[in-house]
Amino acid sequence: MTNKTSWTYGGQLLKGKKAQMPVISLNSEYPCIMHSSRDNNGRSYGVCSYLDCLFPPRIKNSETILKHGPIGSFDVAGVMPMQRIKNYLFYIGWTLRKDVPYFNYLSLCEYNGKKFEKKGPILGPDIHESGYTGTFHVQIINNYYLGYYLSVTDWSEDENGELNPVYDIKISQSKDLLSWERLNQTAISREEDEAGISAFTMIKVQDVYHAWFSVRKGKNFRNNAEGGYRIMHATSIDGISWIRDSNFGINPGFFDGCEDMAAYPSIYINESKVIILFNGNGFGEDGIFWCYMPIAELKGN
């Protein structure tokens, strides 16, 4: 395949507010973007921003939907909402440890008609994977829910000697969205000096699945385009085996606001266009950006 950069910059959807990790949810009654912000103590809390237009995307109003748990809980240090499916909302629960800086738990809550009630962690550490789980994307394939999750496999030191997690994207499956079984299958593996792959998101165009995800290196990834997050692309026929390519990605420096990084993509289709939401510098410090391209660009790839 040839190198393709077909995205057109759409603009800044949400300014400031540390609007980190945008995740589009279209299968609920009200189209919305789940993301997180930070309180005065630096703890993440969940925000739902409702859309009144899908293209160009336009936010109507926002509300806080999820907060950190009490002392001793698995999410005492903060929460980050992921995808909403039916009445369930997946989210990341943050806690702190002494051996490593933090530890996350991929978790689930349920909407009772008035608010989201936490049900607890899913895909926690076990005999197969001892690291933490993070970002999560669900897709229905062959009558199963397939869950593509961030899986920590190790820790490494950055340029300042600080510990940071090393992770890739693995696959789980479920029949009911509550109980998840690991497939012991890696969807997107790290290559060369990559240290982190996160925020897997996908769509199906004709008979091909297209995925986007963000990739960073192990050093100089916070304020440096060389090591910082960039968005990359892969394709699959069955949703299990994926082939990475150099098409349809977004590199740092694509526009003002992402000179150091382009991170945490979330993808959706509206009529004849593909829209991608993502964060720029500072892991979302300046808010949420978006780009688009004709869906015809993906056909035949």
pLDDT higher than 50, residue 140: yes
Q: Which of 188, 93, 117, 176 is nearest to 150 (CA)?
A: 188
- Confidence bin at 300 (pLDDT 50/70/90): low
What is the pLDDT at residue 4? Answer: 53
Domain containing 146: what range?
8-297
User: Mean pLDDT across the stretch 215-242?
Assistant: 95
1 lies in some domain: no
Residue 2 inside a domain? The answer is no
Q: What is the pLDDT of residue 27?
A: 73
What local confidence, expressed as pLDDT, does residue 62 receive?
A: 94
Confidence of residue 5 (pLDDT cuts 50, 70, 90): low
Token pair 């050093």 is found at 219
Residue 124 lies in a domain: yes
Tell me the residue type at 248: F
Of 129-138, 210-219, 278-287, minimum mean pLDDT range: 278-287
Could you tell me which residues come within 8 angstroms of residue 72 by beta carbon, excluding any fewer than 6 positions away?
A: none
Q: Tell me what pLDDT residue 1 has.
A: 33
User: How many domains would you assign to the chain?
Assistant: 1
pLDDT for res 242 = 98
Q: Is residue 117 part of a domain?
A: yes
Mean predicted confidence (pLDDT) in 72-82: 97
- Percent share of the chain, pLDDT over 90: 89
CATH code of the domain covering residue 197: 2.115.10.20
236 CB neighbour count, 10 Å cutoff:
17
Q: How far apart are the first and last CA of the chain?
A: 8
The proportion of the chain whose per-residue pLDDT surpasses 70, expressed as a percent, equals: 97
The string of pLDDT tens digits covering residues 168-222 is 999 999 999 999 999 999 999 999 999 999 999 999 999 999 999 999 999 999 9
Listed range (1-10, 215-224, 235-244) with the worst mean pLDDT: 1-10
Average pLDDT, the chain: 94
> Under 8 Å CB-to-CB from 198, ≥6 apart: which residues?
134, 135, 150, 167, 169, 213, 214, 229, 263, 264
pLDDT at 29: 74
Q: Which of these ranges, 6-10, 82-86, 252-256, has the smallest mean pLDDT?
A: 252-256
Cα–Cα nearest to 129, from 174, 75, 171: 171
Position 2 scores a pLDDT of: 36
pLDDT of residue 3: 43
Q: Is the dihedral of CA 167, 169, 173, 178 positive or negative?
A: positive
**Chain centroid offset of residue 162 CA:** 24
Answer yes or no: is pLDDT of 11 > 90: yes
